[in-house]
Chain A
Amino acid sequence: MQLLPMRGPAKTLPNVQSLRCKECGRDYPLEPIYVCDFCFGPLEVAYDYDAAAKNMSRESIQDGPPTIWRYDQLLPVSRENAVDIGAGMTPLLKADNLGRELGLNNLWIKNDAANPTHSFKDRVVSVAATKALEFEFDTIACASTGNLAGATAAHGAKAGMKTIVFLPADLERGKILGAAIFGSVVLVNGNYDQVNRLCSELGDDRHWAFVNINMRPYYSEGSKSLSFEIAEQLGWHAPEHIIVPVASGSLFTKVHKGLNEFAQLGIIDGADTKMHIAQPAGCSPVATAFVDGQTHPKPVIPDTIAKSLAIGSPADGFYTVSIANKTGGSATIVPEDEVVEGMTLLAETEGIFTETAGGVVISALRRLVREGAIGPDEETVALITGTGLKTLEAIADSVETKTIEPNVQSFDEIVTKAAVS
């Protein structure tokens, strides 16, 4: 593997204060650590919001680059020397056709499949890779069955770092190749638990930037850019509802944090968004905890076609349930047979081919409207976090095609008659 010359060091902006324990509030220096030594609570980046407010305004944001780095005053590392392959500023599309189907007059789709490696993971890995360079790591790593693999491999290549992406050896060939093109894949002969275990041990043992272990506090901050963009693209306000596909819960908590930070800085007037959890029935520990009135999700063994949501032990499950309750949100457990229905509905109405997680979101949205949890005129944003091209196997038995002979008669018999009847 040939490494590119190392770029200049990344820099932390002065308004980034510390890492702070979400449980006991202890402060830690900005280092590659992720858990509080005292109470084992997760660490989160803390900012000096007064300092950030002096440097960040609607105008300064609009003058920034058309990527997540336009919001670097609220990210843990500056845009200078960022590992940037163009993550962010994905389309927010008014979904009038889908809205008509569902009975919503003010529905928006945030299409994060438009990111460089076709999922929202580019946001978080761009931040993690930049921070890893600041910490002078020469190796970046992750363990993934899909979106995170591609994002880490691509950003590692751009950063000129050694990159190691662990994938289960029995993963679909397309997903392996999609990450391997960047030159950094290690296939592990083992099941889900064995790969998890190996990576946990390597994460403790090796001096690597493991994006969702020791880089987690920084990595997860990248997700806030999704809600920053939504607020900006809506004309500087927060929507009334956001429906979020939940795996670990990190995205959910950070979308909420981002809206609150914008409100705190006065960039938007307030953030009263109801946050809705969407999970598939085959892996719904967080939604089940919410529905059952529990605070802590009970671990499950995932068995869902929505592979990008297949996290049985969600690290941020507790916080996700708490935010959904606090904001007046909800949780929907989507039956597995409705996942592809949601994908198909979005494709046929809006021309967007989502991954299975998006099918979960659209089917959850349909249920929320039927139940009256979302009113017809309430401004609603559904998050589409990745492309369906990565999960083609999910729809293989659900889409229909017609085959004809190469003549007009055959076309009329099979296609024209079907269109008329």
Chain B
Amino acid sequence: MPLRRVTFTFKTDLIQRPVIYELGKKFDIVTNIRRAEVGQDNGWVVLELEGTLDEIDRGLAWVVELGVDVSPLDGDILVG
């Protein structure tokens, strides 16, 4: 099953919402947190997502819609 490593960055209004739990419930995606720092005003989480590519894409689109910043852990590969 494909894996994708991403960083979620949360703003203040989403700090209290269990976004990663909801992501795993709403979509057929296994979430695996590896590193995180969550404060009162913002937070970030490095995690691995396992699922079909389509399901991961749908799940990430939902997370972005909520207002979470999502970036690939490896950064952009296509460079100048």
* Selected interface stretch from A38-46, A51-59, A106-114, A132-140: A38-46
**Residue pair A199, B77 in contact (C-beta under 8 Å):** yes
- Neighbour of B76 across the interface among A210, A296, A313, CB < 8 A: A313
Q: Are B44 and A23 in contact (CB under 8 A)?
A: no
A196 within 8 A of B: yes
Do B75 and A314 touch (CB < 8 A)? yes
Q: Given A38-B34, A308-B80, A248 and B9 touching (CB < 8 A)?
A: no
Query: Which partner residue on chain B sits nearest A391 by CB separation?
Result: B80
B residues less than 8 Å from A210 (CB atoms): 77
The reply on A226 being an interface residue by CB < 8 A is no
- A159 located at the interface, meaning its Cβ lies under 8 Å from any Cβ of chain B in the complex: no
The reply to whether B79 and A145 contact each other, CB–CB distance below 8 Å, is yes
Which chain B residues border A174 with CB–CB below 8 Å?
A: none
Known contacts A35-B5, A40-B5, A299-B70; A248 and B75 CB within 8 A of each other: yes
Count A interface residues, CB 8 Å: 43
Residue contact B34 to A299, C-beta cutoff 8 Å: no
Complex Cα gap A35–B35 (Å): 13
B71 within 8 A of A: yes
Measured between beta carbons, the chain A residues less than 8 angstroms from B42 are 294
List A198-239 residues whose CB lies under 8 Å from chain B. 199-200, 203, 210, 212-213
- Bound form: Cα–Cα A195–B5 in Å: 18
Bound Cα distance from A168 to B77, whole angstroms: 13
Which A residues are CB-close (under 8 A) to B9?
296, 298
A contact residues around B72 at 8 Å (CB): 196, 200, 313
Are the C-beta atoms of B71 and A313 separated by less than 8 Å? yes
B70, B71, B74, B77, most chain A CB atoms within 10 A: B77
In chain B, positions 55-80 with a C-beta closer than 8 Å to chain A are: 69-80
Closest residue of A by beta carbon distance from B7: A296
The answer to whether A89 has its CB under 8 Å from any CB of chain B is no
A144, B76: Cβ atoms under 8 Å?
A: no
Residues of B contacting A316 with CB < 8 Å? 75
In the bound complex, residues from chain B placing their C-beta under 8 Å from that of A299 are 69-71
Complex CA distance for A144 and B80, rounded to whole angstroms? 5
A145 to B5 CA separation, bound complex (whole angstroms): 24
Given A40-B5, A296-B44: A315 touches B78 (CB 8 Å cut-off): no
Asked if B76 and A311 make an inter-chain contact with CB atoms under 8 angstroms apart, the answer reads yes
- Bound-state CA distance A168–B76 (Å) is 14
What are 11 A-to-B residue pairs whose CB atoms are below 8 Å? A40-B5, A143-B78, A144-B79, A144-B80, A196-B76, A196-B78, A248-B79, A298-B9, A299-B71, A307-B80, A313-B76
